Amino acid sequence: MSHEVVVIEGDGIGREVVPAAVDVLEALPVDFEFVSAEAGDAVKAETGEALPAETYDLAADADATLFGAAGETAADVILPLREAVDSFVNVRPAKAYPGVDAVRPETDVVFLRENTEGVYAGHEDRLSDDLSTLTRVVTSSASRELAEFACEFVEDGRGPAGDPDEGFTVAHKANVMRETDGRFRKVVLAVAEERGVDADEELMDAFATKLPLDPSQYGVIVCPNLAGDVLSDLAAGLVGGLGLLPSANVGHDNALFEPVHGTAPDIAGEGVANPTAAILSAAMLVEYFGHVEEGQRVRDAVEGVLSDGPRTGDLGGDATTEDVTAAIVDRL
Amino acid sequence: MSHEVVVIEGDGIGREVVPAAVDVLEALPVDFEFVSAEAGDAVKAETGEALPAETYDLAADADATLFGAAGETAADVILPLREAVDSFVNVRPAKAYPGVDAVRPETDVVFLRENTEGVYAGHEDRLSDDLSTLTRVVTSSASRELAEFACEFVEDGRGPAGDPDEGFTVAHKANVMRETDGRFRKVVLAVAEERGVDADEELMDAFATKLPLDPSQYGVIVCPNLAGDVLSDLAAGLVGGLGLLPSANVGHDNALFEPVHGTAPDIAGEGVANPTAAILSAAMLVEYFGHVEEGQRVRDAVEGVLSDGPRTGDLGGDATTEDVTAAIVDRL
Ligand SMILES: CC(C)[C@H](C(=O)O)[C@@H](O)C(=O)O
Ligand SMILES: CC(C)[C@H](C(=O)O)[C@@H](O)C(=O)O
């Protein structure tokens, strides 16, 4: 069975790292059919639309999408794309690799970020010349769906410890957002209890203090949408930046994979971007399709190259995107 | 002229660190009149109210309030108290001290956090069994008041660099909250421009990545309420925890000073709490009243003791709260 994957390079280094990830996918004994599509600043400059309807439809109808990065138009591209694939959870691992300079080398966490609501539901109003409001939305149904995913994730040993007993931490701000985050935390903790999964909780501000102080105390972290955005980016800072971080937007019957980094305009076009995040996103795609062993092979190859292979400039080396990609393909 | 200061110890180590801070204030050649008041879990257990009306009124009518910490009832105490003193900005310095173990010893930043609105305006509704909403509020007037405070703060050389030219960074999420944070960022940047203060901006998630990677690139950071809560707590993690961090909630004609830490129930009652954050909060109070030189003396004494005086357990020593306080008073 062939998996139909829409490939959207987007802008900047997206045009370099996504082809690298596709090279890696093509080197695997898995049958993919790739379909190219456009999104981002460049296509907006041409057509007036950052996310052409055709791209949206292709992503919605495919088995999965691999996306690179978009510049100024990032939000106009990525938020509707998450909707196109009907994603309810954004899976964001942040792991420090041996040999890569990290503020906190012990960091090994996975954020499971609610991906449909919170402030991203985005009902905003300009009520007067002075005052604007935003309606933040939290439903029990979305919270429950996320919690069920989190429980399965942990039960399947997909957390950093690989241990079904490791449980998860819910990070929220229910002491202030009592009704909305109160609903979120209550539903998530209740689902965990029902399924016999260990769950504890942290206020998101306390979590932001404790994570840099001692990342080793955390594994899987479940959060509302914006909390997941900010806290996972904090974890990115602890492992040495966004250059290495993949992510998966998982839906019911579709998914979208993207490196967490942006377009890196300072180095775009030079062929020296670090393809690691895009390639690790491809590994998540491979695993999403059930090819767990192949996903692991990609991951192992990436780790091998990170520890003793060629390095791009962001990691202190002078290798090109192609060098790194070839080294990873070599190790598969 | 005597300054009337309401003193609220609250719960847990608040009952130890606030008296320490009062000892320091009493050792200064400044005339204070202290009035005690109750708030927190203990008074709630007794009277049913975490913040008795009497305490609220005392704080509202005083020249300033010094608060310790509250337990479970923290939000019920601190949020109305901020309102009682009519505070529009929460000033949160986060500085790593020589000799104190820090994840990022170069950290020296001050957050100026909007203190009245955002999600803290707190209009929440349970619209159905499944759905709750929170109305986040952003006004141009509150954003402008914060921005004007920030400009003065920088112009007066009160930023970490002490340089009127250092400017500030606005951290926000206007790419998603386009109308509300869009309003915030636009007003803050416009005020800076009007006053000739340098201002740049960061998305709050990008800021959360960059701060741990390189805190030295930031000085004064201006943010909406919840962003300021989370990002300043992140900075706390980089300087070695909450134990050292003071804060000031500044209003038009009144103010509230509080250590950023909580009640630390694990060590409460043992006389071994670190009084530094409370004492630095007292220094901010002294400066708020215009006694800049005395405030600086307190700060210098604290830094001296941190670098070669007695230390409490959180900093690897075995001194008591009293030892540390006496050492600080000695150096005044
Ligand atoms: C570009 C932006 C809308 C997006 C988000 O806030 O989700 C990004 O920060 C991310 O985390 O993928
Ligand atoms: C206790 C809580 C309501 C408070 C806040 O969110 O402002 C605290 O976290 C703080 O930062 O002072």
Answer whether A133 sits within 8 Å of B136, measured CB to CB.
yes
Examine the pLDDT at A141 and tell me if it is beyond 90: yes
Q: What per-residue confidence (pLDDT) applies to A122? A: 73
Strands (E), chain A: 3-10, 32-37, 64-69, 87-95, 108-114, 118-126, 131-139, 168-172, 199-203, 220-223, 246-251, 255-259
Answer whether A233 sits within 8 Å of B209, measured CB to CB.
yes
Answer whether A210 sits within 8 Å of B177, measured CB to CB.
no
**pLDDT tens digits along A272-328:** 999 999 999 999 999 999 999 999 999 999 999 999 999 999 999 999 999 999 999
Q: Is the CB of A211 under 6 A from ligand 1?
A: no
Residue closest by Cα to atom 11 of ligand 2: B229
Examine the pLDDT at A243 and tell me if it is beyond 90: no
**pLDDT tens digits along A88-137:** 999 999 999 988 889 999 999 999 999 999 999 979 999 999 999 999 99
Chain B positions touching A241 (Cβ under 8 A) are: 209, 213
Examine the pLDDT at B240 and tell me if it is beyond 90: no
Q: Is the CB of A206 under 6 A from ligand 2?
A: no
Chain A positions touching B204 (Cβ under 8 A) are: 230
Residue closest by Cα to atom 7 of ligand 2: B229
Chain A positions touching B135 (Cβ under 8 A) are: 133-136
Examine the pLDDT at B258 and tell me if it is beyond 90: yes
Q: Is the CB of A78 under 6 A from ligand 1?
A: yes
**pLDDT tens digits along B109-164:** 999 999 999 999 979 999 999 999 999 999 999 999 999 999 999 999 999 999 99
**pLDDT tens digits along B65-121:** 999 999 999 999 999 999 999 999 999 999 999 888 899 999 999 999 999 999 999
Q: What per-residue confidence (pLDDT) applies to B26? A: 98
Biggest CA–CA distance in chain A, Å, is 61
Nearest to B209 among A130, A132, A234 (CB): A234
Q: What per-residue confidence (pLDDT) applies to A242? A: 77
- What's the mean per-residue pLDDT of chain A? 96
Per CATH, A1-90+243-331 and A103-238 having the same topology is answered: yes
| Ligand sitting nearest the alpha carbon of B259 | 2
Give the ligand 2 atom nearest the CA of B82.
Answer: 7
Could you tell which of B91, B223, B229 is best to mutate to test the pocket of ligand 2, judged by most ligand atoms within 8 Å of the CB?
B229
Q: What per-residue confidence (pLDDT) applies to B1? A: 78
- Count CB pairs under 8 A between chains A and B: 159
Listed in sequence order, the DSSP H helices in chain B are: 14-26, 41-47, 53-61, 74-84, 140-155, 180-195, 204-213, 225-239, 276-288, 292-308, 321-331
Give the ligand 1 atom nearest the CA of B173.
Answer: 6
**pLDDT tens digits along B170-215:** 999 999 999 999 999 999 999 999 999 999 999 999 999 999 999 9
Q: Is the CB of B229 under 6 A from ligand 2?
A: yes
Examine the pLDDT at B55 and tell me if it is beyond 80: yes
Q: What per-residue confidence (pLDDT) applies to A241? A: 72
Nearest CA in chain B to A135: B135
- Read off the pLDDT band of B223 (50, 70, 90): very high
- What's the mean per-residue pLDDT of chain B? 96
Q: Is the CB of B58 under 6 A from ligand 2?
A: no
Q: Report the distance separating Cα B272 and Cα B265, nearest Å.
A: 12
**B231 and B92 in contact (C-beta within 8 Å)?**
no
User: Among residues A330, A276, A273, which one has the least CA distance to residue A302?
Assistant: A276
Q: Is the CB of A75 under 6 A from ligand 1?
A: yes
**pLDDT tens digits along A4-45:** 999 999 999 999 999 999 999 999 999 999 999 999 999 999
**pLDDT tens digits along A150-200:** 999 999 999 999 999 999 999 999 999 999 999 999 999 999 999 999 999
Provide mean pLDDT across the span A205-233: 97
**How would you class A27 by CB atoms within 10 Å of its CB: exposed for 0-12, middle for 13-18, buried for 19 or more?**
middle
Q: Report the distance separating Cα B171 and Cα A152, nearest Å.
A: 36
Answer whether B133 sits within 8 Å of A129, measured CB to CB.
no
Nearest to B238 among A175, A177, A212 (CB): A212
Torsion of CA A216, A88, A75, B183, to 10 degrees: -90
Chain A positions touching B90 (Cβ under 8 A) are: none
| Ligand sitting nearest the alpha carbon of B119 | 2
**A225 and A116 in contact (C-beta within 8 Å)?**
yes
Q: Report the distance separating Cα A44 and Cα A50, nearest Å.
A: 4
Q: Report the distance separating Cα A304 and Cα A181, nearest Å.
A: 41
Q: Report the distance separating Cα A67 and Cα A56, nearest Å.
A: 12
Question: Domain residue spans in chain B?
Answer: 1-90+243-331, 103-238
Q: Report the distance separating Cα A241 and Cα A243, nearest Å.
A: 6
**Sign of the dihedral defined by the CA atoms of residues B19, B23, B29, B35, in that order:** positive
**Is the CATH code 1.10.10.10 the one for domain B1-90+243-331?**
no
| Ligand sitting nearest the alpha carbon of B79 | 2
For residue A191, what is the enclosing H or E element? helix A180-195
Examine the pLDDT at A50 and tell me if it is beyond 90: yes
Nearest CA-CA distance, residue A297 and chain B, Å: 29
Nearest to A137 among B79, B131, B183 (CB): B131
Q: Is the CB of A74 under 6 A from ligand 1?
A: yes
Contacts of B47 (CB under 8 A, 6+ apart): none
Q: Report the distance separating Cα A55 and Cα B260, nearest Å.
A: 48
How many C-beta atoms surround the C-beta of residue B290 within 10 A?
11
Q: Report the distance separating Cα B112 and Cα A86, nearest Å.
A: 38
Could you tell which of A77, A226, A229 is best to mutate to test the pocket of ligand 1, judged by most ligand atoms within 8 Å of the CB?
A229
Please give the CATH topology (third level) of the domain spanning A103-238.
Answer: Isopropylmalate Dehydrogenase (3.40.718)
| Residue A288: φ, ψ to 5° | -55, -35
Q: Report the distance separating Cα A161 and Cα A155, nearest Å.
A: 11
Answer whether A124 sits within 8 Å of B178, measured CB to CB.
yes
